[in-house]
Amino acid sequence: MPVMSYIQAVTQALHEEMERDEKVFVLGEDVGKRGGVFRATDGLYDKFGEARVIDTPLAESAIAGVGIGAAMYGMRPVAEMQFADFIMPAVNQIISEAAKTRYRSNNDWNVPMTIRAPYGGGVHGALYHSQSVEAVFANQPGLKIVMPSTPYDVKGLLKAAIRDDDPVLFFEHKRAYRLIKGEVPEDDYTLPIGKADVKREGSDITVITYGLCVHFALQAAEKLAEEGIDAHILDLRTVYPLDQEAIIEAAKKTGKVLLITEDNKEGSIIGEVSAIVSENCLFDLDAPVKRLAGPDVPSMPYSPPMEKYFMMNPDKVEKAMRDLAEF
């Protein structure tokens, strides 16, 4: 099975879907000739031409809005926001339009569109190239938000997103792009949106997280295994709507639950996960549900010590996991 990087899996999925379905096209800033500032759309312009790999004007609301229009017509646009931080001008289109189209038209119209955006910190990106923005969208029924952790999941979930009949926000961790590599089958496969995935079986503590933090947790788990602490790790994969069943099952398995996000703590995805656990698992809980998250400051500063202080890392995760295990 070929081993590829996280971003190569993105490119691979786009390539395969454009080949499979002529209605699929890519639009965004610098996605054409340049192949994307992160190179996620590398090679697509040469292969599929400028009509299907569209360099748009620098205007995010139009990228989203034009994509929505084309999707309503029956196309399968894959829009790229250059950084998740820059999705803000398109929020009206995404929340007022894409999310509500099916509902407001009583199932008459729908928006089969995927919006990809690189998110996350640890890349010296400072305030506006580091943010996790999923919580902004995670109380908008009608949207689906996918945040994969591995190249395998990237390919299967991006293909599923493109084929989905509803709008999907597909957030890719930019630090994972070249850091995370893994086996990715060459064949055509999709993974179910809305399903979490157990990335490690364990019996002492349950870690529920998503994105790059999954790797931090897995690394920490290997270390802790040497101390006899056996961690169960659930990768949410889809952060909205949440896979309640999997969350409940994972929480009940050990009764000690640690929730991790790179985002600011208050109002983040994991707060909702915590609510699901406390609503459903009281009599299986053996410890308070713990949250490990970024501090409640607007975003990640540029200076390396401050960035490091904000950013999640395996040591912080390991410490929190050990602390809960010893409770």
Partner 1 sequence: MTENRHQKLGLSDEEVLDMYRTMLLARRIDERMWLLNRSGKIPFVISCQGQEAAQVGASYALDREQDYVAPYYRDMGVVLSFGMTAKDLMLSGFAKAEDPNSGGRQMPGHFGQKSNRIITGSSPVTTQVPHAVGFALAAKMEKKNFVSLVTLGEGSSNQGDFHEGLNFAGVHKLPVIVMVENNKYAISVPLEKQLACEKVSDRAVGYGMPGYTVDGNDPLAVYEAVKGAADRARSGEGPTLIETVSYRLTPHSSDDDDRTYREREEVEEAKKKDALVTFKAYLQEVGVLTEEKDKELEEEMKSLINEATDYAEEAPYAEAESALKYVYAEDE
Partner 2 sequence: MAKEKINMPQLGESVTEGTISSWLVSVGDTVEKYDPIAEVMTDKVNAEVPSSFSGKIVELVAEEGETIEVGNLICYIETEGSSEATEEASASEKPETPVEKDGVGSSDDEDQPMKKRYSPAVMRMAQENDIDLNQVQGSGRGGRITRKDIEKIIASGDLPKADEAPKPKEQVQETQPAKETKEVPAPQAAKQTSGPQPTANEGDIEIPVTGVRKAIAQNMVKSKTEIPHAWMMVEVDVTNLVEYRNSVKEDFKQKEGFSLTFFSFFVKAVAQALKEYPQLNSTWAGDKIIQRKAINLNIAVAKENELFVPVIKDADDKSIKGLAKDITDLATKARNGKLTNDDMQGGTFTVNNTGSFGSVQSMGVINHPQAAILQVESIVKKPVYMNGMFAARDMVNLCLSLDHRVLDGLVAGNFLARVKEILETMTKENTSVY
Tokens of 204: 């002492």
Tokens of 225: 């295994």
Q: Exposed/middle/buried for 62, CB within 10 Å: 0-12, 13-18, 19+? A: middle
Do residues 151 and 180 make contact, with C-beta atoms less than 8 angstroms apart? yes
Binds partner 2 (CB under 8 A): choice among 91, 265, 285, 301:
285
Nearer to partner 2, 47 or 319 (CB): 319
| Partner touching 1 among partner 1, partner 2, none, CB below 5 to 8 Å by kind | partner 2
AA identity, residue 41: T
| Partner touching 296 among partner 1, partner 2, none, CB below 5 to 8 Å by kind | none
Q: Is 102 in the site for partner 2 (CB under 8 A)?
A: no
- Any idea which residue has 């379905």 for tokens? 21
DSSP letter string, 63-125: HHHHHHHHHHHT-EEEEE-SSGGGGGGGHIIIIIIITTHHHHTTTS-----EEEEEE--SSS-
Using CB under 8 A as the binding rule, the residues of this chain from 287 to 306 that contact partner 1 are none
Binds partner 1 (CB under 8 A): choice among 37, 72, 126, 225:
72
Q: Is 34 in the site for partner 1 (CB under 8 A)?
A: no
Using CB under 8 A as the binding rule, the residues of this chain from 144 to 183 that contact partner 1 are 144, 164-166
Q: Is 59 in the site for partner 1 (CB under 8 A)?
A: yes
Q: Angle at the Cα of 133 (from 6 to 265), degrees rounded to 5?
A: 105
d(CA 118, CA 125): 12
129 is known as an active-site residue: yes
| Partner touching 61 among partner 1, partner 2, none, CB below 5 to 8 Å by kind | partner 1
AA identity, residue 256: K
d(CA 64, CA 280): 37
Nearer to partner 1, 2 or 192 (CB): 192
Binds partner 2 (CB under 8 A): choice among 38, 45, 119, 137:
38
Nearer to partner 1, 144 or 256 (CB): 144
Active site residues: 129
- Residue ranges binding partner 2 (CB under 8 A): 1-2, 5, 7, 38-39, 118, 123-125, 129, 174-179, 201, 203-204, 222-223, 225-228, 254-256, 282-287, 304-305, 308-309, 313, 315-316, 318-319, 322, 326-327
